[in-house]
Amino acid sequence: MIARALGVSFRQALRSVALTLFPLAFIALFAWASAGSTSGNTSDPVRASAWLFLGAHLIPFAIPGGKLTVLPMLAVLYPMWAIRRGLPNVEMAFNKLNGARIIYSLWYAILSELLALISMYHGVVANLYLTPVFTFAIAMIATSNFATQKNRAFYFSLYLLLTALGIGALLYAWSLFSHWNEIKSISVVLGSGIVGGVLTAALQILYLPNIALASISYLTGIGFHFGSGSIINGAQVIVGQVPALPFISALPTSVHPNLHYAVFAWFLLFIILFIFIARDGGSLGDLTRRWIIQGIRIFVVIVLFAFLSQGELLRASLNPVGVIWSKFTLVLGVCFATAAIVTLYVPALIRTVVHRE
């Protein structure tokens, strides 16, 4: 029975890896063939497909002359979908769902680690320590079954966060439209052709969550980095050398000091969240306990999201790139605590004073 369960989970993990890897291999082979090659060595696109697979799982890379640690966060949805596809067959082979998820995720992490080992080439190396950790965590999240009724407040907080990211994405789109001539100039200079243009556009779409988070961070006065010694916020714009990529044309070029007042928007979002939680009623102690629990959960998501959205982009001069995750978390933490005091404790204090009178 155990041997059968292990065998089924291994086959499904292998199937999930293949479901992600094969389309990426086709893309890599097509791009390699379109670009042309003097060696004709097809091991290059095969190895590149393994790098794409690992990059889709947000695995950091070490490359000659730098690192690649800021990776497209939207890409992780595809392997999560592939992992989810194999779960039903694994569940039928196990008596307990949690055991099925753990074994399935372990096999997936082991296979991913093998890909990382096989794909090492000429200094391009995926982080071998983080590969099993990240892939196991992604597989566990992908196979989770969150009860909507029990996690309403957590889901609502995620909706608020996604709303903020949507506003950031709209801001970025507006900035791109405002710099349309610069986009055309960069595209002409790149001369990437039809295939290269499509792949470049697809890559920028996959980076959209990273860009949206940096945009909303800029919009609310917190700011972000784009290279060593850079700082981009409402009060100052200091940028060094940047790569010639179309999405770079949306970078701010002038200061807007009044943007630091927009941090009040995070305070309003947390007020809305607390009002939603308080609808179920309860004592002051009960509400405090629920708000602390939900605060810890949403801040774990925020910290992870902010940390993974930034990093080094191919060379040391482009490190860091992305949101200032420590400052971002600190500002949101202050807004969260202030909103809790205003929403929960100030009304409780007023009620206490009124009842004494």
Tell me whether residue 147 is in a domain: no
Cα atoms in the Cβ-side hemisphere of radius 13 Å centred on 7: 4
Which residue reads 């992305």 in tokens? 322
One domain, residues 32 and 129: yes
Which of the listed residues 142, 161, 184 is the one where a domain comes to its end? 142
Q: What is the pLDDT of residue 355?
A: 62
Residue 242 resides in a domain: yes
| pLDDT single digits (tens) 59-74 | 999 988 889 999 999 9
Alpha-carbon gap, residue 345 to 347, rounded angstroms: 6
184 and 106 in a common domain = no
Q: What is the dihedral of CA 30, 33, 34, 35, to 10 degrees?
A: 120
Spatial separation of the C-alpha atoms in residues 181 and 342, rounded to whole Å: 47
Q: Quick check: is 55 in a domain? A: yes
Query: Are 309 and 263 in a shared domain?
Result: yes
Co-location of 221 and 319 in the same domain: yes
- The count of domains in the chain is 2
pLDDT of residue 153: 76
Q: Which helix (H) or strand (E) holds 49?
A: helix 43-56
In 179-256, which residue ranges form alpha helices assigned H by DSSP? 180-190, 193-206, 208-219
- Looking at 142, 160, 188, the residue that finishes a domain is 142
Tell me what pLDDT residue 137 has: 93
pLDDT reported for residue 344: 77
Q: Tell me, what's the pLDDT at 297? A: 82
Domain-embedded: residue 309:
yes
Amino acid identity of residue 274, one-letter, is F
For 70, the 3-state DSSP assignment is coil
Query: Are 133 and 187 members of one domain?
Result: no
Is the residue at 26 inside a domain? yes
Residue 105 and residue 247 in one domain: no
Return the pLDDT at 37. Answer: 55
CA 217 to chain centre: 15
Residues 136 and 166 in one domain: no
pLDDT along the chain (357 residues), means of 10: 74 90 85 63 79 93 88 92 85 73 91 92 89 93 71 81 89 84 74 71 87 90 85 83 78 81 88 80 72 82 88 84 88 87 75 64
What predicted TM-score, i.e. pTM, was given to this entire model? 0.87
pLDDT > 70 in the chain, percent: 89
Of 112, 142, 172, which residue sits at a domain end? 142
Domain that holds residue 157: 152-356
Pair 104, 202 in one domain: no
Q: Based on the domain organization, do 123 and 171 belong to the same domain?
A: no
Same domain, 164 and 24: no
160/135 same-domain check: no
Is 24 contained in some domain?
Answer: yes
Whether residues 34 and 130 share a domain: the answer is yes
CB–CB of 132/255 below 8 Å? Answer: no
